[in-house]
Chain A
Amino acid sequence: MNFEIILAAGVASGTILLFAAIGEIFTERAGIINLGVEGMMFVGALAGFKVGIETGNPWLGLALAMAAGALLALLHAIVCIHFQADQIVSGLALTFVGTGVALVMGEGLATARTGALLPTLTIPVLSGIPFLGGVFFTDQSVLVYVGYLLVPAAYLWIDHTRPGLHLRAVGEQPSAADALGIDVYRTRYVYTLFGGALAGLAGATISMAVTPGWFSNQETSGLGWIAIGLVIFAQWSPGRALIGAYLIAVIRRMTLDLQGPSDFFGFANPFFTYQPSTFFLNMLPYAMVILVLVIGSREARRRRVGAPASLGVPYVRGERGH
């Protein structure tokens, strides 16, 4: 096993989780919980791949993947913001619709392709750094680099800009934000759509860069749900989402590599000698997510940080009769 390769692959597939988790962070910071990430990733993966190969223009595919994710999120936004529906259930419905639509539209699409649709880059100077250069800056997809830039940008946006301030206020205390002339509905729409677009981008990252192709219902293998778990672990901060995303992705990647060698350090590799036991290996990432959540929840309790105060609560302007 070559650690540099495993880590580099982990960073690449961690980018999927990163996009989805950061999108969800923005949505949740505005007070809307969108559990439909899996569905939005599905349509994103499909739209990106299909448009990419049919037009030959991967960038157009990327744009449409984001638009598709946002379009689906728009459904969620309308139902949750204007109809004040239950956000949990609406998110589940979104998952069904997204997967269903993607499967329908993806019917008969080529299952696999050899090369990635998007170019890869090696950064001249940085790739020369021992070990780290090989992991982070050599032969990675452009989207991986977008991921590097997205994290600080998200942090600065949320904590150090005026729109970010409004975002936080809307998620914490929408009535106060409303009274100060901030359009709560519009803010929530914008960030729900933005979260959807990033989820679509995450889907496209799968189908256009990390594992190019369309594998129908195997496409996202629960990454959307893992991303939602990551948001809780990350305590709604982009920096921690980055750590969690890469961590989970590296473990996922290692479960593949562990099946390969016939022996570890002189011991027979049980995953090699008895194929069915690899299923236990495949359980590992999911078990890890639960473990990470337990750790995250305990820490949150200790540090007394929590979800945005109005997460999941529909905002209705306070006109009452009594």
Chain B
Amino acid sequence: MTEPEPIDTTHELDTPLAVDMRGIVKRFPGLIANDQVDFELRRGEVHALLGENGAGKSTLMNILSGLYRADEGTITVGGVPVDIRSPRDAIEAGLGMIHQHFTLVPSLTVTENVLLGLPEPRFRLHLPKYAGRISELAERSGLRVDPRAKVWDLSVGEQQRVEIVKMLYRGVRVLIMDEPTAVLAPQEAEELFRTLRDMTAQGASIVFISHKLDEVLAIADRITILRKGVVTASGIPAAGRTRSELARLMVGRDVIEAIERTSSTPGQVVLSLEGVSARDDRGLPVLRDVALEVRAGEIVGLAGVAGNGQTALAEVITGLRECAGRVNIHGEDLAGRPPLRAIDAGVAHIPEDRQGMGSAPDLSLVDNLMMKSYRRAPIARGWLVNSTVARDQAEGLTTEYQVAAPSVDTQARLLSGGNLQRLIFAREVSAMPSIIVAAQPSRGLDVGAVETVHRLLLERRSAGAAILLVSEDLDEILALSDRVAVIYEGHIAGVLDVDHADVHTLGLLMTGSSLATAGQGASAGQGASTGQGASTGQGASSVAASDP
């Protein structure tokens, strides 16, 4: 690619590139993930790899880190051609990738995770000795980690630091980070950016994969943009670029970013939690004294850093997890009752884990679509299932919700992420539920599917459904919600009216500050009590803040 080289005084032009990928092609059955992609990384820079979900960013970097093999193309590292056949080869070449799903073993300690796969120690582990070394290294790089902690006891932010330490311990000079901020609170993201800056100052190079324009502009020196597997901008300097310019290169058309959201007039409280506490699968407290209300015709966004109890909260409401306290659904306490009670009470659930919980991978679309309706007429006919009706309904739903599949007999596992989510929405939303719990509904979906998901949620809201939107994406929360609740360590740290919520305030709450210290949102919210009537006014409508 012959983008004019910008003059950059901080780097010497004659030193070889840290990484140079040329003409990379990677095909998957049915699509070309990377088509003749070139990518170059200089020493000491943060190079953002920008693109929508499915544009081929992760694929390209998976090739660089040895997880995939390119069908065509060459790679040189520090001027030397390399043949990367495995992650081990990549690490030996000084390339380390931190995936969105961390490659940590939860049941092992931090030290054991760092030592995993290394040639040293050769046989006996001598954990105390290595724990010392690791905490020394972590301290030097400004990363706080406890080498003796088990990984499953760590927060997501801490786990990410373990991943970085792991790479540093391996002497990695090129760090590839796949959407590293997706799981972090804004303040944690800032801390990460500082760390990355320190690292580049010491000569490391960083590839920063993202689809978020703001953070790319904030952290990157240069930007490469991919669209549908093809490079649309190669190593352009970040300085002086605008959001809309990048968005155009990324999506290929002008983007209307704001979602049209009409104001709502919420009705009765239909879902309310009082003093709800629950434990996770390992018996540790995961929800503490949660109080939350959702009214008919409103969307309450539940913001929080991953692993702070959101999943458990969704499970408690839908009856999938035992709990103490009251879970009132249409005024009836269903805490600890089986999931069927919640379903019968009109609670729909868009689960976070679409493959693991939301669908039966080897069953047909018909079977997947009748998961909630097979007990009722017309599909049920006494003890029997009327397959003809089930089939007709499935045909109707796949058409209406645009689930792209060869036929309704197709197995659910063969659907793409977006189509699977459309299927789940078709099943859950078509029953006209009065309450919808939607967990991470747009995570990992391409733009078209995200638009569908958002449109459907807003439609349901207008139709009077009470919606709890659990998301780690603050932009999504702010765009869709009427009120925003923040969860931190299993406790609702505060509930704000969306007009008073901004990324900064939410970020503080997400990292454990109380409303009182979290800024302006607090002043209006102070002293407001939970369980008040239909407050259409301003400020936090309910506050359950306590200083931890």
Contacts and interface: CB of A to CB of B under 8 A. Distances in A.
Contact of A177 (B68, B106, B116, B416): B116
B105 A173 contact: yes
A179 B101 CA distance: 12
B54 to A, nearest CB: 8
A84 to B, nearest CB: 14
A320 B28 contact: yes
A180 B86 CA distance: 9
A321 B88 contact: no
Contact of A162 (B30, B88, B122): B122
Interface in A280-321: 304, 309, 317-321
Interface residues of A, number: 27
Contacts of A181: 86-88, 91, 117
B67 interface: yes
A217 B349 CA distance: 54
Given A173-B105, A176-B103, A181-B88, A161 B123 contact: yes
Interface stretch (B107-115, B187-195, B253-261, B472-480): B107-115
A160 B67 CA distance: 29
Interface string B407-429: 00000000011000000000000
Contact of A173 (B68, B104, B117): B104
Contact of B105 (A161, A162, A172, A318): A172
Contacts of B101: 175
Contacts of A318: 67
B281 interface: yes
A168 interface: yes
A182 interface: yes
Contacts of A164: 125
A106 B102 CA distance: 52
Nearest to A175: B103
B124 interface: yes
Given A181-B88, A304-B283, A318-B67, A168 B107 contact: yes
Nearest to A176: B103
Given A166-B116, A181-B86, A319 B28 contact: yes
B282 A304 contact: yes
B99 interface: yes
A160 B128 CA distance: 12
A319 B29 CA distance: 10
Nearest to B280: A304
Contacts of A320: 28
A169 B117 CA distance: 10
B124 A182 contact: no
Interface residues of B, number: 34
Contacts of A179: 67, 87, 97, 99, 103
A165 interface: yes
B151 to A, nearest CB: 10
B28 A172 contact: no
Contacts of A317: 67
B108 A172 contact: yes
Interface in A250-269: none
A164 B125 CA distance: 9
Interface in A203-256: none
A178 B28 CA distance: 21
A179 B178 CA distance: 14
Interface string B50-87: 00000000000000000110000000000000000011
A321 B54 CA distance: 10
A176 B121 CA distance: 19
Contacts of A175: 101, 103
B31 interface: yes
A186 interface: no
A165 B123 contact: no
A318 B88 CA distance: 16
Contact of B116 (A161, A165, A304): A165
Given A162-B123, A163-B123, A321-B29, 19 more contacts: A160-B124, A161-B125, A162-B115, A162-B121, A164-B125, A165-B116, A165-B125, A168-B108, A172-B105, A172-B107, A173-B103, A175-B103, A176-B102, A179-B87, A179-B103, A180-B87, A181-B87, A317-B67, A319-B28
Interface of A: 160-166, 168-169, 172-173, 175-182, 304, 309, 317-322
27 contacts: A160-B124, A161-B123, A161-B124, A162-B115, A162-B124, A162-B125, A164-B125, A166-B116, A168-B108, A172-B107, A173-B105, A175-B101, A176-B103, A176-B104, A179-B97, A179-B103, A180-B88, A180-B117, A181-B86, A181-B87, A182-B116, A304-B281, A304-B282, A317-B67, A319-B28, A321-B29, A322-B417
3 closest pairs, A vs B, by CB? A181-B88, A180-B117, A321-B28
